[in-house]
Amino acid sequence: MTYAILALALMVQSAEAEPVDAGILEQLAWMEGCWRADGFAGEMSECWMRTQSGELVGAFQYSAQGTLQFTEMLMIGTNAEGEFGYHVKHFNRDFTGWESQNEQVTFDYRQISETRIEFRGLVLEFDGPHAFTARLDMRQRDGSLTTEVFEFSRISP
């Protein structure tokens, strides 16, 4: 009974909450749909859709030599800790997770313009209705930082 009351209270609280960053999310309508790019000696694709409450959620897959290597669940929105950003959960091919159950990789929001959104370590730049560029900072084993660039093209609206 206590759990049911707590669950109901959380649902009511969630339903009443206005998305804090709704304006930012509205500017990302261009991301909705499916995209593909080459990179890391393979190919990747991702699909984004908008939730009823305004967040963007997506699924990502990376394949090399015709074999799925890993997937990601994605969200641009506010996580359970109240952090607005680009949130990622990674999964192996067998769907075992890289992060623990309550952890995720978060790229903190920095700024947005009409054609570009910047997160700490990740920049997405709209290149027109059928293309966008992703720039991902990656820490190397020796501690150095490199930036990988991925040119995505739209495969479906």
Separation of alpha carbons 144 and 126, rounded Å: 28
- Note the pLDDT of residue 85: 96
Q: How many residues does the chain have?
A: 157
Would the pTM count as exceeding 0.85? Answer: no
Cα of 147 vs its chain's centroid, Å: 17
**Which parts of the chain have pLDDT scores under 50?**
1-20
- Note the pLDDT of residue 36: 98
Separation of alpha carbons 115 and 25, rounded Å: 13
Using the 8-state DSSP alphabet, how is residue 35 labeled?
A: E
Residue type (1 letter), 105: V
Backbone angles phi, psi at 49, to 5 degrees: -140, 155
Alpha helices, H only, the chain: 2-16, 22-26
Instruction: Give the chain's end-to-end CA distance (angstroms, integer).
Output: 45
Structure tokens at 96: 């075992």
- Note the pLDDT of residue 157: 79
- Note the pLDDT of residue 155: 97
- Note the pLDDT of residue 41: 96
Structure tokens at 72: 């990601």
Residue type (1 letter), 38: D
- In the chain, the domains with their CATH numbers are 20-156 (2.40.128.20)
Per-residue pLDDT of 11-26, as tens digits, reads 334 444 444 478 899 9
